Amino acid sequence: MPKQLNDETLDKQFDFLREIDQLKSVIRKSPLIDQSRKENSAEHSWHLAMYALILKDSSEKEINIERVIKMLLIHDIVEIDAGDHPLHETIDSSHQEEAERKAAERIFSLLPGQQGNELKALWFEFEAAESNDAAFAKSLDRLQPLIHNVATNGGTWVEGNVSHEQVKQRYGSVIAEGSRELWDYAKGLVNRYF
């Protein structure tokens, strides 16, 4: 029999769901593949969840795909408060990490206790990228913009004057940690692009 929720629990859940609607307004630097506009962070998160679903067999390590998908759906929620900061942007990373941590505390606290704590723990796990699930999720978070940049004739790489060596350094180890197979494939695309 399904668990009955009280109005207070539902109020908190709907507060959270209304709050994360703002993620649709966080515009990323990456263009859509058709280059008609820049993607937003909500679209990016959905696309990554699809990457996980489709590419799950590319992980050489045992993963729980449901946990990976959850991480990818929530990983950028903090951008509601902290904004999007692309990989190729020069920023104070310690300041950004603190802003994102505070955002995670605030946003996930909108949910009822256990539910909010579970999602917050998944967010921190994703950020640390130490578990198999988090390493695979993080690798997809690097892979998707790489695929977009190749498909858009350089996209943000051209805008940021990013070199072949910088692409290999900034993407390679993170993607390879989650899937050597995916990095080998992506590296071939990058080499052909440059």
Reported confidence tier of residue 86, pLDDT bands at 50, 70, 90: confident
Map tokens 């696309």 to a residue.
47
Residues 2-27 pLDDT 10s: 667 789 999 999 999 999 999 999 99
Q: In this structure, are residues 159 and 66 in contact, taking their beta carbons and an 8 Å threshold?
A: no
Over range 29-34, report the average pLDDT: 92
Task: Quote the Cα angle for 188-65-83, to 5°.
Answer: 75
Percentage of the chain exceeding pLDDT 90: 87
pLDDT for 87 beyond 80: no
pLDDT at 2: 62
What are the tens digits of pLDDT across the range 56-71? 999 999 999 999 999 9
For residue 18, the model assigns a pLDDT of: 98
Instruction: Report the alpha-carbon distance of residue 13 to residue 131 in Å, rounded.
Output: 28
Of 135, 158, 167, the C-alpha closest to 64 is: 135
Domains and CATH numbers, the chain: 7-193 (1.10.3210.10)
The pTM for the full model equals 0.93
Residue 89 has pLDDT above 80, yes or no: no
